[in-house]
Structure 1
Amino acid sequence: MNKRQENLLLFIWAVALIAALGSLYYSEIKGYIPCTMCWYQRIFMYPIVLIGIIALVQKNAKIAVTTAAFSLIGGCIALYHYGIQKLPALQESAPACGGVSCTGQYVNYLGFITIPFLAFVAFAFIFIASLVLLKDTKE
């Protein structure tokens, strides 16, 4: 494994760790109750933290397929969640989420940065890094 691949694995793990810690900060410290869509995003982000650190320790770049799959699915969920928060047409057809509405916005930095937006950005970074890692391992 070359240094670039190792750095990509470190990047994937670091982004996933920051995203996981951020979600825990919002729920456990700020007291924001996660909606159902937030839980689905967590289901796809949290394993990347564990998978990423194991791959980094083992220097296993082949894990990029798994991180790409998890981040693609999680990113699609996050993008849809962001859409139902920001687009009135999607809000009307939004699924009923447990005790907390999925259309609610606990944070709205700069008028567009919500928690699902932050999750989408993290998933996108992980997905792109995974694709670069896949390409790098093929060469």
Structure 2
Amino acid sequence: LHHEGLRIRLIAPPLLAAGSPVLVDTIHNDAAPVISSSNAKEIPDSYMVVFKKHVSERAATAHHSWVQEAHVSHESRKLELRKRSQVPMSDETVFEGLRHTYNIPGGLLGYAGHFDEGVIELVRRHPDVEYIERDSE
């Protein structure tokens, strides 16, 4: 994918200048990187998640269920905390969770969604996720 190449081009020059061998995975502590376009306006909390090449449609479907459950659980915990602290709900963002799934034969298997940072951190650490891209206009 062209994003992989972009990520390597952005990371490789500083690593080469430093002169020490470093693997891309170690830079992110075994978590998928979150990338964004430097010249586009980001849409807050909106992401596209791309699976690794080995991920099957069945595994992707299971992951979609997992991420939606994680999203609902995270939102429920936040709501409970707001109720306890009596914080007004009007100034809190409501996250939508999973929005779209993608399965382009020979190309892209992934999904897009509107997630809280806590959920994105869980997704980053999932072994089937290659990278996460911030959505942009």
Same fold flag (TM > 0.5): no
With the shorter chain as reference, the TM-score category is: 0.3 to 0.5
**TM-score, normalised on structure 1?**
0.37
State the structure with more CA Rg: 2
**TM-score, normalised on structure 2?**
0.37
Higher RCO, 1 vs 2 (CA within 8 Å, ≥6 residues apart): 2
Which structure: greater helix fraction? 1
Which structure: greater strand fraction? 2
